[in-house]
Amino acid sequence: MLVGLVSTLSLASVALALSPSYNSCPAQPRNVALKNNTHLPDPFTFEDGQKVKTKQQWQCRREELKSLFEEYELGTLPGPPEHLSASLNASNLTITAATNGATISFSVNITLPTTGKAPFPAVIAFDGLSIPVPSNVATIVFAVSAFGVQNDPSSRDVGTFYDLFGHNATASALMAWAWGVGRIIDALEITPSAKINTKKLAVTGCSRNGKGALVAGAFNDRIALTIPQESGSGGTSCWRISDAMLRDNQSTQTASEIVGENVWESLSFDQFANDTDLLPFDHHELLGLVAPRGLIVIDNSDYLWLGPESSWGCTGAARLIYSALGVTDNIGLSNVANHSHCAFPMARELPDLMAFYDKFLLNQPANTDIFYAVPNITLTVGDLAYWANWKVPKLS
């Protein structure tokens, strides 16, 4: 029996060198003078006032935005651990990470597809899957709620991630999960017997886990396709537009509410809870961090709490970033009502999702020019030109 077990077991272990820091961009200040901006901030202007004119400069602006999101909303994303090893036992991939004398282990469950050819593309699903996955794509379930607990404010700094980094880590739960996704990819890269193609990975989650899926896609360049489902505020909605909805008496989750509900943001975000106009960014830029990689936003306008109008405007503004990079169709939005929260309306939305799987995981030609809501959404406060009151350059 032991022999049988050993034959399905593969062990791999490497010491990962710390990756070199990004050094081709000018050093960006983390603390910036906060300005009152009632529109969505201009993605194409650096904090020092210089304009982004080239794709290369966008990469530097992207680094600047990542720093700002770490500083003011999500907490610091640590680098890779000093040591990482992985062991696969049937469908159970156990990852061990050690750094600064502390060690943690966590496991993900890999379900290989029934058709197709190894190595397989895969969808990393936060706390389980709530969208369909093609029969030739694997599923990897990451139990995020144990990795960075998300019950209520008392979950601050609780979970496997904090066992490694200490309970003074600034990372919010969403950032803790993003770090975990990086380690899952590291582990898959050194475990060929897991049969996963690490160049063809998607990340998804619904509702609170959709907020996390967006952050994981934004901060992990090795994710090819990001699929936030019904993620709302803290996800694909913009803080400013959600505040405008609430002022319009539409009962929507806002920064002011979210800081008291859970630990999805870092404590440094509290100062903006009642003053989102002071944030040096908004979530159109979090979505924009995913560019030029694939991103499909799946929404549900029946749930006002999610701010479907805010997500519509926010994702519309993010699409301008994709346009500037010449890849407008790499971002999509599909919003269909008349179903319960996190239930996927197959008949209407499967073709939208399949188009993104085809293009970004399966190397199949597909039309991903998808940006619609049924029923249609019209912004009740401002329009896209109001919120995105900046010029969209054609980046060379």
Residue 162 in tokens: 């904090």
114 interacts with ligand NAG by CB under 6 A:
no
Cα–Cα nearest to 298, from 390, 218, 225, 366: 225
Q: Which of 89, 103, 367, 380 binds ligand NAG (CB under 6 A)?
A: 89
Which is closer to ligand NAG, CB of 159 or CB of 217? 159
Q: Is the distance from CB of 224 to CB of 200 less than 8 angstroms?
A: yes
Q: Which of 7, 21, 24, 36 binds ligand NAG (CB under 6 A)?
A: 36
135 interacts with ligand NAG by CB under 6 A:
no
Helices and strands counted in the chain (H then E)? 12, 11
Active site residue 19: no
Q: Is the distance from CB of 229 to CB of 204 less than 8 angstroms?
A: yes
DSSP code per residue over 240-279: HHHHHHHHTT-----HHHHHHH-SSS-GGGGGGTT-GGG-
Cβ 89 to ligand NAG, closest distance in Å?
Answer: 4
Which residue has 């809501």 as its token pair? 373
Active site residue 207: yes
267 interacts with ligand NAG by CB under 6 A:
no
Active-site choice (107, 172, 207, 233): 207
Which is closer to ligand NAG, CB of 118 or CB of 199? 118
Q: Is the distance from CB of 205 to CB of 344 less than 8 angstroms?
A: no
Between CA 221 and CA 233, with CA 227 as vertex, the angle to 5 degrees is 100
91 interacts with ligand NAG by CB under 6 A:
yes
**Contacting range for ligand NAG; rule: CB under 6 A; set: 65-73, 154-162, 166-174, 227-235:** 166-174
10 Å CB burial of residue 284 (0-12, 13-18, 19+) is buried
Q: Which of 16, 146, 325, 374 binds ligand NAG (CB under 6 A)?
A: 374
Cβ 251 to ligand NAG, closest distance in Å?
Answer: 11
Give the binding-site size for ligand NAG (rule: CB under 6 A): 31
CA distance 372 to 319: 13
Question: Which 286-315 positions form the footprint of ligand NAG (CB under 6 A)?
Answer: none
Chain residues in the site for ligand NAG (CB under 6 A) = 5, 9, 36, 38, 89-92, 94, 107, 109, 111, 166-168, 248-249, 256, 259, 270, 273-275, 277-278, 337-338, 372, 374-376
Give the residue numbers annotated as catalytic, written as ranges. 207, 341
